[in-house]
Amino acid sequence: MRTAVSRFDPVMSRVVVTGATGFIGQHLVEHLLERGDQVTCLVRRSSPWDRRRSPQLRVCHGDLADRDSLRAAVADAEIVYHLAALVRALDYETMLDTNAGGTRNLASVCAEMSRPPTLLLVSSLAAAGPTTNGRAVDEQDPARPVSNYGRSKRAAELAAAAFADRLPVTIVRPPIVFGPGDRDLWQMFRSISRTHVHPVAGYRRSRFSLIDVRDLVAALVVAAERGTRVGPDDDLRDAFASGCYYFAQQERPTYEELGRRVAAAMDCRVLPIVVPAALAWSLASASDLAGRLRGQASLVNFDKLREATAGGWTCSTARAERELGFEPPNGLDQRLRETAQWYRQAGWL
């Protein structure tokens, strides 16, 4: 039976997880606890914490702007998994301050330690930018982010890489992440299950990479323990010669095909409908305005539409396969079906 990273035996570690209450963070914490790691979670006091109690688990209250709380969290850590980030914000400055500024604070605190831990930064394919000429991007392609989110994550990468001469740094750029508990792709599942219609807004032929969250968190651990590190000069380059990885399913569906696969995972039919680009931008404008009136960024907004209409978003896993033995244990259709089953059991569909 294949596993996502079958080459290496578990190595128990003292680890820290930022963003532990998020979608990926929750799965990562559970995976680390199951391995037997000693896990410290940096959690804001305002964040809900309903995870199970465990003698292996410590909760440290604080945030990325509070260097004292960062020092308390990372003390004695061997690995720091940095997931905390803003995916949506009303303005770019807020997103940049959290994603890049917070990463700089964390890396700086880690670099101060007598025995600096490995910093595993979970970035995003958005930091690299869309596919060009139909070829999946790899780690040595120049970064060309097209959205505020992508630019802020690229700035976070450079903030971490600036400490590469004093701190072991590895960067992972996931594509679309889905799986049990995900509320983003769930919107597609819910819409298709209710209406049997799948709107395709002007990027019908563009292809996308995806990764199931369970496969991703297993791969993050191997990247932290066995991956190469960012070189001390990589903060001055457009691309990473080392210390950066992509993890993704092998299938790269178009957005229209993804809708059909989601429908198949729920055993229902779907009709793809092409939405004119002008209408898509109008809907994004209305959603953006509604978000600003509420004081909260909307899921559908200008920034996300910039990404959606920029072309394909596919990435090559060749380096991860070669260096880390990465191989997802299940195909995309199986993982989508498992996700649909979770949504039903949780009452989300």
Flag whether pLDDT at 235 surpasses 70.
no
pLDDT at residue 89 in the model: 82
Q: pTM to 2 decimals?
A: 0.89
pLDDT at 306: 61
Please say whether the beta carbons of 102 and 86 come within 8 A.
Answer: no
How many CA atoms lie within 13 Å of 298's alpha carbon, on the beta-carbon side? 16
First and final C-alpha spacing in the chain: 31
pLDDT surpassing 90 at residue 100: yes
**In angstroms, rounded to a whole number, what is the distance separating the alpha carbons of residues 247 and 309?**
23
SS3 234: helix
What is residue 303's predicted lDDT score, i.e. its pLDDT?
57
Q: What angle do CA 49, 120, 318 make, to 5 degrees?
A: 125
Q: Read off the pLDDT of residues 149-196 as tens digits, 9 standing for 90 and up.
A: 999 999 999 999 999 999 999 999 999 999 999 999 999 999 999 999
pLDDT 10s digits, 195-226 = 999 988 755 578 999 999 999 999 999 999 99
Q: Which domains does the chain have, with CATH numbers?
A: 14-177+210-248+314-329 (3.40.50.720)
d(CA 288, CA 298): 6
> Per mean pLDDT, which range of 48-57, 108-117, 132-141, 142-151 is the poorest?
48-57
The answer, yes or no, to whether residue 249 has pLDDT greater than 60, is yes
Residue 157 CA to residue 138 CA, distance in Å, equals 16
